[in-house]
Structure 1
Amino acid sequence: MMNTLGLTEQEKIALKIIEKAFESNNLDFAKISLDRRSSSYLSLLTKEEWEPGADFCRLKAGVKSVWISLDTWCCAKEFPSSDRFSNVVNKNQRHWKIDLPSLNSIAEICDLIIDVYLYSIGESPLKNALQTPDLTEESTSNSQSTYRKKGHRLTTLPQDYVVIDLETTGLDTRFCEIIELSAVLVRNDEIADTFHSLVKPVEKVGEFVENLTGITNEMLTNAPSVDAALPEFLRFVGDNIVIGHNVNFDINFIYDYKMKIDGNPFRNDYVDTLQIARKALPQLSHHRLKDIAEYLSLDFATQHRATEDCMMTYQCYLKLKDIVIENGINLTSLKKDHNKIKAKDVLAATENFDENHLLFGKVCVFTGKLEKMDRAKAMQIVANIGGINADNVTKKTNYLILGNNDFCSSLKGGKSSKQKKAEKLALEGQDIQIISENVFYEMISESQG
């Protein structure tokens, strides 16, 4: 075990997760040495014939965050150490700010750290890990979701499974927190056991989330932290197939928080009742859990509470399963799948649409500045999927997409007029979701599993 004497708590946590990344790749973390460059600057070096100062990874810990830097030019052996910092032609560098105490996204960065480490000791070519993602229409797979090694989305209809549902403060795992976990264990399509826990977030729950879910800050005062609640939830889930409605969003939260807690991915296979419903009930204009339950004449008393949504998902799944079997519906076709511009000017470049895509036929509105592509390109992607672009939020809007910076700012109360209107419509029961730019990229690249 590495000597961590004199390290900050943030650095110890980061190193522990990196150590697990080494172990999962059958690499010896004992070969790594540390060099304290300053009171806040820590370098990770190899011990295999390295020149002094040739670090492959650096940590700079602050009070509320850790900066992680990877630089291939620092570990390139063909450059003398005196030239490395001046040879900018060969510079290939990325930095990440990791928020504490949750260390958001560090698990995904571990894969890149391993890549650079193997390159630095000459055992592997660089896999372009440090190249900035180019999220164009042709290359959407480089989004954050690329680094999630999740289970498989199934097109079968199991009779032994666990239905899951989470309540969160939003839909983006980088900025939002879990506030409720629920699961229902099912054997032979009969309920065998249940699990439920509220989860105390680091930040206070906003008024919109309180009104939407009915979960107040007072209710969360004595709830366990996610570090305590999620492992209990995962022990209950075990290695069962999980079922949920639009379950990818739930799985993404479970996956990312599990990686932060123990450094291991959530790999359970899963079934999405939203995708089944869109195939089995094409006559419905909306496929929210509420819409499906009402169509199937199921009681739907409470919405946006995890246990109630689990029970409703379970009932909907049984009904949908009967419809699929009775009608011989083939589920194997469920596949994976800011410029000033007017929505009416953006036309689809194809007539062949994937009608199973989450954005097909959905009205999308963008607000704020996108980080990774201009708004015209984002709107073109929506059109090519078969979605409908609009300039303003109305009762017909299904998704309001906020630029990442605007999404983060909105958590602290800085909301645009479009977001305020969308929140009002959501509370009135309209089929509208407010998502970040990051979630939008996940949807266009992985929403079909």
Structure 2
Amino acid sequence: MSIIVKNGILQVPGAQEKLRHKGQEKPEFLTDYTLIDIETTGLSPYRDRVTELGGIKVRNGEIVDEYSHLVAYDKSNKVPAFITKLNGITEEKILNEGIPVDEASHDFREFIGDDVIIGYNVNFDLNFVYDLAKKYHLPELNNDYVDVLRLARAYYPRERHNRLIDCMQRAGIAQVEQHRGLDDSIDTKKVYDDFRQHFTPELLAKAQSKVKNLDLTAEKLNPWELSFYNPISNKQIVLSGNLHLDQTDAAKMIQNMGGKVADRVSAETNYLVMGDHDFFRRDNADLELARQLIKQGAKISRLSETFFLNMLDDWARS
């Protein structure tokens, strides 16, 4: 069976359970939804923490409810200096004003409910909130969603950058982005409403057509199909251990996406992809060799199968 991307969602026979079961992206203009924006200590939901959860609930185009809380943890609440410089959130502020992470996760998941979720580059936010919901045994965050960044790329196709602040400045909404959950949620709504006023049916159809539908194992893909965010391009990859995905299909996928599969770890290896359980074993020869080469200066990223597949799913949704 093939590894495919259907309506922006990666589908991997034999390994689908390793992916986050997020909803489907549906570029459209709605009047009822929940718009979210979160702040974190970094970019990775595996390593980093949510520091703030923010959102607004919209009915008939108007804000009817808001959510905004800093998130406090039992262990570390340290915030990197560059994050504090960006948004003013400090460890002291979290300890003084934050609510416990389990309570915040429950309340925020309840706030979202069954609504379609809207956000700017919202897949980033969804990953963190999905993992919090899973950790605290809350209803799975499988709501469909609208990514305003997708609309921005269709509206400003020739612009190099389409960040939230870029769209705010172009539309005369604001000159500065606050990088705080509630403030950015409100500003994202303003950008979304501005697009609603100016989009043509042709522009919306263009945005919708950019949601990926690809067979990753059929034949080599064109650069325009892969986009600039392809994480496999020019990467040498070694597949090792007890993987759930079919390794023949995986090799075809990697080659079709512009990467190269190698049989053995070397100094040229970029990714060593291992079965989730192999990732923690000490008797994995590929892993031991990778460790030795890393000590010698090689830049080898060791990825679990779950991490690798979710990285690909994030690309599929981009």
Shorter-chain TM band: 0.5 to 0.7
Q: CA deviation at 1:200?
A: 1.4
1:149 lines up with 2:21 in the alignment: yes
Deviation at 1:146, TM superposition (A): 4.2
TM-score by length of 2: 0.65
- Which moves more between the two structures, 325-334 or 225-234? 325-334
For residues 61-80 of structure 1, give each alpha carbon's deviation from its aligned partner in whole angstroms, at most 9, with x where no partner exists: xxxxxxxxxxxxxxxxxxxx
Q: Which residue of 1 aligns with 2:95?
A: 221
Between the aligned partners of 1:143 and 1:278, the Cα distance in structure 2 is 32
Q: TM-score of the superposition, structure 1-length normalised? A: 0.48
What pairs with 1:45-56 in structure 2 (closer than 5 Å)? Answer: none
CA contact (8 A) 1:167 1:178 kept: yes
* Residues 336/379 of structure 1: CA separation in 2 closer, same or farther (3 Å cut): closer
Q: Is the 8 A contact 2:221 2:256 kept in 1?
A: no
2:82 pairs with 1:208: yes
The residue that corresponds to 1:250 in the other structure is: 125
How has the CA–CA distance of structure 1 residues 215 and 260 changed in structure 2, closer, same or farther, with 3 Å as cutoff? same
Number of residues of Structure 1 aligned to a counterpart in Structure 2: 252
Q: Residue 233 in 1 paired to residue 104 in 2?
A: no
- 1:320 aligned partner: 195
Match of residue 354 from structure 1? 225
CA deviation profile, 1:97-148 (whole Å, cap 9, x unmatched): xxxxxxxxxxxxxxxxxxxxxxxxxxxxxxxxxxxxxxxxxx9948898432
Distance 1:402 1:285, change over 3 A: farther
Aligned to 1:292: 167
Residue 333 of structure 1 is matched in structure 2 by: 209
1:181: how far off? 0.4
> Which has more radius of gyration?
1
- In the alignment, structure 1 segments of 5+ residues that lack a partner are 1-138, 338-348, 385-400, 405-435
- CA gap of 1:379–1:320, structure 2 versus 1, over 3 A, is farther
Runs of 4 or more above 6 Å deviation: 142-145, 369-373, 377-382, 401-404, 436-440
Whichever residue aligns with residue 218 of structure 1, its letter is E
Does the alignment pair 1:181 with 2:53? yes
Structure 1 residues 324 and 200, CA gap change in structure 2 (3 angstroms): same
Aligned-residue identity in percent = 31
Q: Which residues of 2 match residues 162-177 of structure 1 at below 5 A?
A: 162-177=34-49
Question: 2: CA distance between counterparts of 1:351 and 1:365?
Answer: 14
Rounded to whole Å, the distance in 1 between the matches of 2:152 and 2:308 is: 22
3-state DSSP of counterpart to 1:182: strand
| Cα separation, partners in 2 of 1:261 and 1:372, compared to 1, 3 Å | farther
Q: Secondary structure at the match of 1:219?
A: helix
The letter of the residue matching 1:179 is T
1:142-178: per-residue Cα shift (whole Å, max 9, x none)? Answer: 8898432222211322111111001111222221111
CA 1:299–1:230: 2 relative to 1, 3 Å: same
- Find the aligned partners of 1:170 and 1:378 in 2 and give their Cα distance: 29
- Aligned residue for 2:204, secondary structure, equals coil
CA pair 335-229 structure 1, distance change in 2 beyond 3 A: same
Once residues 253 and 168 of structure 2 are traced to their aligned partners in structure 1, the CA distance between those partners, rounded to angstroms, is 33
Q: What is the CA distance between 1:277 and its match in structure 2?
A: 1.1
Greater RCO, 1 or 2 (C-alpha within 8 Å, sep 6+): 2
Q: Contact 2:239–2:272 at 8 Å: present in 1 too? A: no
2-side partners of 1:335 and 1:212: how far apart?
Answer: 31
